Amino acid sequence: MARYAQEQRKALSLIGQIDCAPLAVKAKRARPLFPGKLGRGVSFVQNTLNEQKYIAMETIRVKPDWLFLSSWSEYLAPFWSHRLKKVRQNGTRIAALVHDPVRDFVQGPDWFHQVSIRAAYSFIDLVFLHDASKISWGGFRNTPPVVEIPHGPYSVSCGAKIQSELKTGLQIPEDAFALLAFGHIRDGKNLELLLQAMKKYSKVYLIIAGKEQSSGQRPVTEYKQIARDLEVADRCRWHTGYIPEDKIWEHFTACDAVALTYSSDFRSASGVLNVNAQFKKPVLVSCGPSPLKKVVQKYHLGPWVEPDSSTEIERGLEQLVSRPRWPGAEWEAYIKDHSWEENARRVVEAMEHFDPEN
C-alpha cells in the first residue's frame, strides 16, 4: 500500500494541475507493554488513535483543499472519526482510496464492525475504488460519490541473469515448470491447496517468496510439513522473509507462471499482478468477484479457476503446463489501460468536478 501511494502521488504530481504533498504519519508508535495477543492489541489501539490524531492536527494546520487517505480503514473509527469531521468543518474535503470495498474481515462483534464502517465513511466526500460493483457501507445511508480508478503496474530493477541461470541456481531442472507464489504468506492465498494440486504434476516446482503475514495465520513451518506429507517438499523452494526490492526480479524471471490462488474472500486488485506486468508471466488466478478476476479474464492473462478448490487449481495448472507461453495474453493493452497516469487523471477530474450539493 505504501508503494501504491508513492506511485499515485508521483503520477498526480506529474499532471501539474494540483500541488500534491505527502503527509507522512510521524506519530510516535507505542510498543507492546507486555507480551502476548493482549499486549499487541493494546498497542494497536494506541497507534491507531495516535495516527488519526496526527493526521487531523496536521491537516487542520496546513488546511489543504483535499485530504486524500491512501489507505482507508474502519478499524476503531467510532473513537477517532470525530477528528476528521473537524477537518471537514475546517474547509478541507476528504477523499479515500478503499482497497477492499467488501469489509468482511471482522474484528470484535459484528455490530461494532458495522458501526465502525458507518463512522469511517461519515466524513468522506469522495471514494475511489478499483471496482465499484459491490461495497460494504455498513448501513451508511448518505453514501459519497464513487469513482473507479485502475491499479497501476509497478516496475522493479532487473539484473543480467536469464531464466535458465536462475533456475539452475534454485536447483530447478530447466525443463521443469516453475510456479511462483509471491508476497505475504497468509491463509487467504490457499497455499495448502496449491501444494495439494502439485502432487498430480511431477514437473511442477513451486517457489514461495515472502514474509509470514502475522500471528493468527498458519506459520511457514506448517506449510513445509504439509509439503512433506504430500511428498512434494523436494519440489518447493522456500525464500521466506523480506524480499529486498533489488531481488524481486530474480523470482519473477526464474518462474514460468505466477500463482494468485486467493480465497473467495478476496475482492480487491492484486499488487503482485501489477509487479508481474513488467515480466508478463501467465497467472493462475482464483478469487471472489473482484478487479483481479475482471482484468485477468478481459486481457486473457492466464486461467481463472473457482476459488478454494485443489481440483480447480489442478485444472488451471494443466492449462498452464500444456500451454506455458499462454497465447493471446494482452499485457500491453492491460498496461496502457491501467497506467498510473490514467489513475491520476481520474482522481484529478473527480476532485475538480466535485459538487458537494450532489
Distance CA 260, CA 203 (A): 19
Between the two ends of the chain, the Cα-to-Cα distance in Å is 30
Q: How far is CA 71 from CA 68, 128, 214, 254, in A?
A: 9, 10, 19, 32
Helix (H) or strand (E) holding 149: none
Q: Count up the domains in the chain and report the number.
A: 2
Q: Does residue 155 fall inside a structural domain?
A: no
pLDDT value, residue 32: 65
pLDDT value, residue 25: 66
Band of residue 216 on the pLDDT scale cut at 50, 70, 90? confident
Q: Which domain holds residue 95?
A: 2-150+339-352
Q: What are φ and ψ of residue 129, in 5° steps?
A: -135, 160
Neighbours of 244 (CB within 10 A): 7
pLDDT value, residue 78: 97
Taking only the tens place, the pLDDT of each residue in 146-169 is 999 999 999 999 999 999 999 999
Contacts 24+ apart (CB under 8 A), 293-302: 294/131, 295/269, 295/334, 295/338, 299/329, 299/330, 299/331, 299/333, 299/334, 300/326, 300/328, 300/329, 300/330, 301/273, 301/326, 301/329, 301/330, 301/331, 301/334, 302/257, 302/258, 302/326, 302/329
Q: What angle do CA 117, 49, 98 make, to 5 degrees?
A: 35
Q: Is the same domain home to 36 and 118?
A: yes
Q: Is the same domain home to 177 and 86?
A: no
Q: Does residue 157 fall inside a structural domain?
A: no
Helix (H, G, I), strand (E, B) or coil at 214: coil
Taking only the tens place, the pLDDT of each residue in 231-241 is 999 999 999 98
Q: Does residue 357 fall inside a structural domain?
A: no
Q: Is the same domain home to 145 and 169?
A: no
SS3 content of the chain, % helix, strand, coil (to 5): 40, 15, 45
Q: What CATH number does the domain containing 297 carry?
A: 3.40.50.2000
pLDDT value, residue 23: 80
Helix (H, G, I), strand (E, B) or coil at 146: strand
Locus of grid cell 471537514: 88
Q: Does residue 158 fall inside a structural domain?
A: no
Locus of grid cell 502475522: 214
What is the pTM (predicted TM-score) of this model? 0.87
**How many residues are present in the chain?**
358
Q: Is the same domain home to 169 and 139?
A: no
Q: Is the same domain home to 202 and 345?
A: no
CB contact at 8 A, 278 and 153: yes
Q: Is the same domain home to 125 and 204?
A: no
Q: 8-22, 23-37, 84-98, 302-316: which range is least confident on average?
A: 23-37
